[in-house]
Amino acid sequence: MVQSSVLGYPRIGENREWKKALEAFWAGKLQESELQHKLQAIRLSHLSKLQKKGIDIIPVNDFSYYDHVLDTAVMLGIVPSRFSYEGHGPVPLTTYYAMARGSREAPACEMTKWFNTNYHYIVPELDGSSPVLTENKPLSAYREAKEQLGIEGRPVILGPLTFLKLSKGYSLSDTDEWLERLIPLYGQILQELEAEGVQWVQMDEPILVTKLEPVDLLRLRSSYDYLTKQAPVIRIMLQTYFESVDYYDELVTLPVQGIGLDFVHGLKDNLNSIKTKGFPENKVLGAGIIDGRSIWRAPLDDKTAILDELGKSVSADRLLLQSSCSLLHVPVSLRQENQLPAVLRNNLAFADEKLDELVLLTKAVAQGESVVAKTVEDVRQAAQSLKASEERSRGDVHLAIAAIREQPLERSRPFAERYAVQQAKWQLPMFPTTTIGSFPQSQEVRRARQLWRRKEWNGEQYTGFIRSQIDKWIGLQEEIGLDVLVHGEFERTDMVEFFGEKLAGFAFTQNGWVQSYGSRCVKPPIIYGDAAYIGEMTVKETSYAQSRTRRPVKGMLTGPVTILNWSFVREDIPREAVACQLAYALRQEVEALERAGIGMIQVDEPALREGLPLKEAYHAEYLSWAVRAFRAATCTVQDTTQIHTHMCYCEFHDMIDSIKQMDADVISIETSRSHGELIRSFEQETYELGIGLGVYDIHSPRIPQPGEMIAMIERALRVLDPKLFWINPDCGLKTRGIEETAASLRNMVEAAKAIREKY
Ligand code: GLN
Ligand code: ZN
């Protein structure tokens, strides 16, 4: 009979108990045994929740003490030598956390984004380590669930090909050698699970939705050939997610017993593969039907229609209804959300509500669609009310974005001409110095914001405080000798939340946390209505700062694409349309700043690249509307108004064309992470707009010396025009200390002066 499953459940707990336990342990306030105890309680409560809800096949080993990729590395003995692990038995928890977070002796392993999500994993480093099975974590997880709760769990294991592809520290020519070292360990894990009587394992191979070489498919086949020979009885669900698979023919002929496909994010192509090519009769289809990444209720009638289609090729007893990916990417539960507008709340489904949807849908397949009739009607009505609500009926916004879509979105003059006008107006020296926007958010600053939020301070007290901070930092920036100043962003906790709270169309949950990396959780805003401008958002603070100095003060906004990519977004209109609405709202703020006499405006787009689709075929379309959104927000200003932008967090070398098309007068880009590559790509492609490559890494408390920065600038000037080059740090300084920030900026200004002498 048809059954239900999920690919993983959030670790953080309904009240972020997990996060709190980890942090207490790191702070030395919990003993290791207490931590183990607390985490076990959380883990078991999740399992028993899934059991009570009626999920048929319950994942185990999806839980983690930090990150599942790190777990896999540690399980396979992939511990870089700097952490001095002696090479047998379970890796100690202190070593595990040292890899994740760094220790006094050794810097942490690198962290990077998990596919196209906002979850970050720890990158395994293969060099210098010799793989060995240090413990069978899936086995312990399976035993625990069985012994404690009588659950016949399905261990989740990160598959060998994906693990290897996500690792670093080996050359491509050694791929096969590494696979040969790792595969026997996987074989041993499966053998032990088989001996224990485990029926199914979920082998996550999300790498299969990305572009692979033919040789990778051979590796895949030989790996799974080997594994099924090692453990012939256990059944493997080869699990993919986040997109459709391009190698369907290959997958369905692998010697595994189940194939898991995403019928949300790869719906069209995956469904098409099944329809045109059929599905093997000896395999189970894991149908990812409930979206593991969105917070919206599923229209169950649409879902049953898809399942009907699948039913033509797959009989019900070989069908498993699943979440499209792990539920790790959505908040835990709606239960505590009692302050959301009802018209919105009725349309939401977080992890726990998704469990209900899966169970219900499974029932519908088994017993007929009448079982879901009432829910279908509920969802339809909720959607209808939201659609009819004022929030989604802003006629002025609809008209404006229809117009924007028709416009070329160009500044009135090309860059070279307007830059000359701007130079004449500002009279800045060669190599102007500036910062990215935020200054240290000291204890004092955070406390002030809290007092004000809790209404213990009135508006006047709070404004007075913010102004005193602005005064202090304007004074300091002048004294340090920076050329373009900023107000410091002391009034902002988060660069998206701050704007979301001031625009229409947004809602904020009380408890809608999602794990971002380690114990760090984020609470993304929900864009559920038409995003619209209500009134000035940044003009007061910016003009105040400008009134305190004769040097230019740069206004500071978060760009439309970044707001979009760091929020949960309505799905009734395309993302492009939401970006366009946000751009139109931001354009009004840009114009308001300009009217208030602010002549330089920075529109940050650190997350522009994060929205890049996994499949290359969709890149151009995304980049085109993302760039247009930025231009829509910024193109209406006068020639003399200088538009800046800033990007960080990822690699930019392969998107220089799009960056050019943004047509910002000045861009500042983080360089420390992809330095070499970025400079190299400027060798191949000229960049003829204002540009500042970050001259020092703000992620470290270390104070950079002028010499290092001079070297870095000179390297950049081999490929970039000195007349267009700006000098700035890599990113905002809000996480840094006051003293170190001032010292670093002093050295930066000194470096700029030295460079000016040479040119
Ligand atoms: N203006 C922001 C700041 O300085 C930019 C933050 C970012 O790039 N992530 O904090
Ligand atoms: Zn940045």
Sheet strands side by side (includes 59-60): 3-5, 319-323, 284-290, 258-262, 235-239, 200-204, 154-158, 59-60
At residue 674, the pLDDT reads 58
Q: Give the closest residue to 71 by CA, choosing from 16, 134, 117.
A: 134
570 Cβ partners below 8 Å, 6+ apart?
Answer: 296, 392, 527, 528, 529, 578
What was the pLDDT predicted at 597? 98
pLDDT band at residue 356 using 50, 70 and 90 as cut-offs: very high
* Nearest alpha-carbon partner for 609 in 561, 559, 558: 561
Q: Assess whether the C-beta atom of 303 lies below 6 angstroms from ligand 1.
A: no
Which residue, judged by its Cα, is nearest atom 10 of ligand 1?
A: 732
Segment 127-150 mean pLDDT: 95
Q: How far apart are CA 342 and CA 346, in angstroms?
A: 6
How many percent of the chain have pLDDT more than 90? 93
Find out whether 113 is annotated in a ligand binding site.
yes
Apex 269 CA angle, 267 and 271, nearest 5: 60
pLDDT, tens digit, 9 for 90 and up, residues 616-633: 999 999 999 999 999 999
What are the E-state strand segments in 62-199? 111-113, 120-122, 154-158
Task: Tell whether the model's pLDDT for residue 195 goes beyond 80.
Answer: yes
Average pLDDT over residues 130-147: 97
Closest C-alpha residue for ligand 1 atom 3: 732
Give per-residue pLDDT as tens, 423-450.
999 999 999 999 999 999 999 999 999 9
| Res 680 pLDDT > 60 | yes
Q: With a 6 A CB cut-off, is 432 part of the ligand 1 pocket?
A: no
pLDDT grade for 128, boundaries at 50, 70 and 90: confident
Question: Residue 282's pLDDT is what?
Answer: 95
pLDDT in tens, 440-478: 999 999 999 999 999 999 999 999 999 999 999 999 999
pLDDT for the residue numbered 326:
98
Atom of ligand 1 nearest to the CA of 438: 4
Q: In terms of Cα–Cα distance, which of 279, 267, 159, 292 is closest to 223?
A: 159
pTM of the model: 0.96
pLDDT level of residue 675 (50, 70, 90 thresholds): low
pLDDT value, residue 676: 64
Give the pLDDT confidence of 733-742 residue by residue, as tens digits: 999 999 999 9
Cβ-based burial of 312 (10 A; exposed 0-12, middle 13-18, buried ≥19)? exposed
pLDDT in tens, 693-728: 999 989 888 899 999 999 999 999 999 999 999 999
**Given the CA of residue 435, which atom of ligand 1 is nearest to it?**
4
Compute the average pLDDT of residues 513-524.
95
Mean pLDDT of the chain: 96
For residue 116, say whether it is annotated as part of any ligand binding site: no
Give me the residue label for tokens 């967090």.
649
Confidence of residue 673 (pLDDT cuts 50, 70, 90): low
For the segment 382-399, the average pLDDT, to the nearest whole number, is 97
Q: Measured between alpha carbons, how far is 486 from 602 in angstroms, rounded to an integer?
A: 10
Residue 520's pLDDT band, with cuts at 50, 70 and 90, is: very high
| Residue 436 assigned as binding residue | yes
Q: Ligand 1 centre and the CA of 573: distance in Å?
A: 29
* 604 known member of a binding site: yes
Quick check: CB of 559 below 6 Å from ligand 1? no
pLDDT of residue 694: 94
Q: Express as a percent the part of the chain with pLDDT over 70.
A: 99
Cβ–ligand 1 distance for 436 under 6 Å, the answer: yes
Q: Is the ipTM of this complex over 0.95?
A: yes
pLDDT in the model for residue 654: 84
- Which of 731, 733, 734 best tests ligand 1's pocket when mutated (most atoms within 8 Å of CB)? 731
Over residues 313-329, mean pLDDT = 97
Q: With the CA atoms of 456, 459, 460 and 466 taken in that order, what torsion angle do they form, in degrees rounded to the nearest 10? A: 90
Q: What length does the chain have?
A: 759
